[in-house]
Amino acid sequence: MCQLLGMNANTPTDVMFSFAGLATRADEHKDGFGIAFFEDRGLRHFIDNQGARCSPVAEMVQRYPIRSDNVIAHIRKATQGRVTLENSHPFVRELWGRYWVFAHNGDLKDFAPRLHGAFRPVGDTDSERAFCWLMQELAKAHASVPSIGELSATLRELLPRPAAHGTFNVLLSNGQALWAHGTTALHSLQRRHPFGAATLADADLSVDFAALTTPRDRVTLVATEPLTSDEAWEAFAPGELRVFRGGERVAA
């Protein structure tokens, strides 16, 4: 299985401490990596079919001054699809004049929906197929950009269908919010004032966020497994959908 990382914040925020924690797990999850982060309506998207521990793209990303309010990252351990660039997450599509970013951890058996619209997979993964189907069904359900609440209601109806075919832990964002759906392993954590220090679970690296933030800052992280050893991560219930906007969880 793969590993996911998502971040949602109320102000452009540095994600590299958390990305460094994710990258330490790439020895096992070595079949590709990717990260996508929004800058207003724009999107920067970096992927490679090499693992995050050895990829020159990952090395470049770790030197890039990423500051964003919506980030999705992924390290891949392939279960379906070849280890190729086109099969590297996260995947990106356009809908209603906005970029949409999607990453999946899991394995879907016999999920072969009919794709008859503008959304077709480029690679051969179950993940990209599910993403294209979600985009197709969202486009059918809404004529233009709906509210976050309306989108959440539609996703709550759609997500159980691919989830019925296996493990479907996913992150989805259009730059306005972060949607996270867990069936087996997904956790979230909010950081807000008063900020403290945190230590990575898989590396000897700590950060004192009190020195890097303001009292107004709010940040929520979502990860397959907790990335830090000294913070209170909250596990998702099976089949749970959580929605985050401005660094806070909102009604789904």
Cα torsion 218, 222, 228, 232: sign: positive
Task: Give the integer Cα–Cα distance in Å for 117 and 139.
Answer: 9
- Select which of 1, 2, 7, 151 is catalytic: 2
Task: Give the integer Cα–Cα distance in Å for 218 and 19.
Answer: 18
Of the candidates 237, 243, 250, the one whose C-alpha atom is nearest the C-alpha of residue 187 is 237
Task: Give the integer Cα–Cα distance in Å for 2 and 101.
Answer: 16
Active site residue 132: no
* Catalytic positions: 2
